[in-house]
Amino acid sequence: MTKKETVYIVSDSVGETAEVMVKAVASQFFEQEIEIKHFSYVEDKQDINNVITVSKYNHSIIAYTIVLQDLKQYIDHRAKDEGVIAVNLMYPLMDAFTQKFDMQPNHQPRQMRKLDEDYFKRVEAIEFAVKYDDGQEVRGLKQADIVLIGVSRTSKTPLSMYLANKQFKVANVPLIPEIPPPQELFTIPRKKCVGLVISPEKLNEIRRERLKGLGLTNSANYASLDRIFEELTCAEDIMKKIGCPIIDVSHKAIEETADHILAMFKKRGSFA
């Protein structure tokens, strides 16, 4: 059995970046996979001494992604003294960034992990918005960062998704005259609830376009002004009972409404 060549990956984080790069390069030389051994979360010189020793003993290469300068300098110095090849995978590109963008790196380890955490928080928030869209499950109201309420076609769903992309868990509840609002709306902190209203004329226009897109006639009660006035009056009565802030979205883009909500919550310390 042919002995596999070994590369030691040294990182002040997990080392996934280095592993991908090492495998990509190794594929240009070997038909079979090489053996990769990790030294993750390296924080002191003794860790580096250990990997230098085993790498020298096994006649192996070290590939590292260490951004702390004192450790980087130490591994370079020790590798040279011991005749071990140690390749810095990050600094050539970091140097290029410095030259091109006239900026200095912050030399903070585990920055990718922070980016990953942000990504997963955003995914979690999006999944939450989908699950608790349109009042599907009222139990989500207590778990939400923001609860949007309003009549149909006041941009509750697209606004929920936009805010979810900013990592906020958003639930939304439609207000319909014939259906009592869930009691949970009156038990959650009113500071995290936002009512969305719209002018009757604008809502009539939006609903007529919606009916047209569905191949239905404009004579449907859904788009009639009488029905719209009834819904808006009922919705505003509920919002006043809850005591939540109310935003008129008649002439606002989704981004503008979202910024308004976030500024309002930040001012009140609702996200503290």
Residue 271 has what DSSP assignment? T
E-strand spans in the chain? Answer: 6-11, 35-39, 61-65, 86-88, 146-150, 170-174, 193-197, 246-248
CB-facing half-sphere around the CA of 202: CA atoms within 13 A: 14
Please give the Cα distance from 151 to 196 (Å, whole number): 8
CB atoms < 10 A from the CB of 59, how many?
A: 11
The answer on whether 153 is annotated among ligand-binding residues is yes
The answer on whether 150 is annotated among ligand-binding residues is yes
In the chain, the amino acid numbered 142 is K
The answer on whether 215 is annotated among ligand-binding residues is no
Sign of CA dihedral 82, 84, 89, 92: positive
The answer on whether 154 is annotated among ligand-binding residues is yes
In the chain, the amino acid numbered 177 is P
The answer on whether 156 is annotated among ligand-binding residues is yes
In the chain, the amino acid numbered 268 is R
Tokens 């606002």 belong to which residue? 252
Residue 191 has what DSSP assignment? G
- Residues 117-123: contacts with CB under 8 Å, at least 24 apart: 118/167, 121/167, 122/164, 122/165, 122/166, 122/167
With a CB cutoff of 8 Å and minimum separation 6, the contacts of 249 are 150, 154, 155, 196, 197, 198, 257
Residues belonging to the binding site are 150-157
Residues belonging to the binding site for ADP are 150-157
